[in-house]
Amino acid sequence: AQSVTQLDSQVPVFEEAPVELRCNYSSSVSVYLFWYVQYPNQGLQLLLKYLSGSTLVKGINGFEAEFNKSQTSFHLRKPSVHISDTAEYFCAVRPPSAGGTSYGKLTFGQGTILTVHP
Amino acid sequence: ETGVTQTPRHLVMGMTNKKSLKCEQHLGHNAMYWYKQSAKKPLELMFVYSLEERVENNSVPSRFSPECPNSSHLFLHLHTLQPEDSALYLCASSPFPGSPILSSYNEQFFGPGTRLTVL
């Protein structure tokens, strides 16, 4: 079984400042890692994912995340945020599919609300 | 329409009503999902359909009844709900799941959700 902990429920930040949203996970097997963003009144949109290879992954809208296996973390960063980045961000994990009914069950964290102030 | 659509976007119902939520995906995917998103709780996976067959039912009360008539449509039938069932219900779809031939990465694409309020 997997679990995901997002350490901050709310992160306020000023426009053009850097931001880091923290995510730690627990799993007895290797996992894929994801960050999703949810803008108000919308569904979830994939920001970026780590499947394998380079531990630094870049996503859309200038976000990046670094996978740290020893610390079981996958923190999300952006060097300079915009007002339009105000949204809720979800970290998620799932084991690699292995055939059969392994459809890719995602386990989500509780979410972090990022509020960017002018 | 493109992507994953959900109707209605908002629904208010009494505890004795019967209503249905609809999800439609235009991506050619073969797996569809229902999630419940409650305030201050992680997203909860409710049901998964793969090739129109239910493959997961996460201990969801029987007052929620899913239906998947084909790979493009997914319904969630609601009856005698409770106020604690008020939440955002999200639908998602993904390509054929679990194939060892594929890269095994099956991104889930989400719809905008239905905001349900049970009075």
Name the phi and psi angles at B17, rounded to 5: -75, 160
Residue of A nearest to B55 (CA): A101
pLDDT tens digits for A69-104?
Answer: 999 999 999 999 999 999 999 999 987 765 544 556
CB contact under 8 A, A103 and B111: no
How high is the pLDDT of residue B94?
86
Mutate which of B56, B105, B107, B114 to disrupt the A interface (most A C-beta within 10 Å)? B105
A27 has pLDDT over 80: yes
User: 3-state DSSP call for residue B23?
Assistant: strand
B89-113 pLDDT, tens digit per residue, is 999 998 865 544 444 456 788 999 9
pLDDT value at position A31?
A: 87
Instruction: Report the alpha-carbon distance of residue B47 to residue B40 in Å, rounded.
Output: 21
The pLDDT, as a whole number, for residue A103 is 58
Residue B82 confidence (pLDDT) above 90: yes
Q: Please say whether the beta carbons of B47 and B31 come within 8 A.
A: no
The model's pLDDT over B7-36, given as tens digits with 9 standing for 90+, comes to 999 999 998 889 999 999 998 888 899 999
Angle, CA B119 vertex, CA B58 and CA B18 arms, to 5°: 60
Q: What's residue B1's pLDDT?
A: 57
Residue of B nearest to A100 (CA): B98
Cα dihedral B54/B59/B61/B67 (nearest 10): -10
What percent of chain A has pLDDT above 90? 75
Q: Could you give the percent of chain B with pLDDT greater than 90?
A: 59
Instruction: Sort out which chain B residues have CB atoms less than 8 A from A111's CB and list them.
Output: 42
